[in-house]
Amino acid sequence: MDTPEQPQIYLITPPTIELSTFPAKLASVLDGAEIACIRLALAGNDEDSIARAADACREVAHARDVAIVISNHVLLAQRLGLDGVHLDDGARSVRAARKELGPDAIVGSFCGASSHDGMTAGEHGADYVAFGPVGTATLGDGTRAEKDLFQWWSEMIEVPVVAEGGLTPELIGDLAPCTDFFGIGDEIWGDDDPLGALNRLRAAMS
């Protein structure tokens, strides 16, 4: 993912998706907003159900020329024809994933609030680093990725950075000058109108 001028949307799927309804929901969001990349953030390890969900979402994404990566399943990324992988374990698996998937795949790394992990991930070949949660998110141990981390990163490091977790319009407005992507998922999928919810968040960027 190239570094954009203005932050772009990095869309994150819900942990469980209803195959009868979600692909159409995803299509309507992609048709109504410019999305840089999609992350399949599926819970569980049932390869069959993950593969079915990935196939459905990949068809929707690739029909619209949007890249799609999967959380943590390096081998499935290859087998299912996805564009790469998003790793949740900081810098630990980046080098192995890059070796497995080759130079053209997208390899991203979630590094919590650790600039050290982020720098190591970048050195090991990550295409982007994600920090979060930036807001009050239910996951994790209460540690938040603060604005000064994003400011420092955007001034010192060339690897693109994603802000995610507990985003609000206020946080988006605050972080827009110092992040490349906003990872948006839970913030919109619970809404009856995910595209409307996304557009409200997007309006806060400018």
Confidence of residue 1 (pLDDT cuts 50, 70, 90): low
The two tokens of residue 110 are 């979630």
At 97 the three-state DSSP class reads helix
119 and 126 Cβ atoms separated by less than 8 Å: no
108 and 87 Cβ atoms separated by less than 8 Å: yes
Q: Each residue of 99-151: pLDDT tens digit?
A: 999 999 999 999 999 999 999 999 999 999 999 999 986 556 778 999 999 99
Least confident of 4-13, 148-157, 171-180: 4-13
Mean pLDDT of 160-182: 97
The overall pTM is greater than 0.85: yes
**Could you give all domains of the chain from N- to C-terminal order, each with its CATH number?**
8-203 (3.20.20.70)
Which residues share a beta bridge with 182? 9, 163
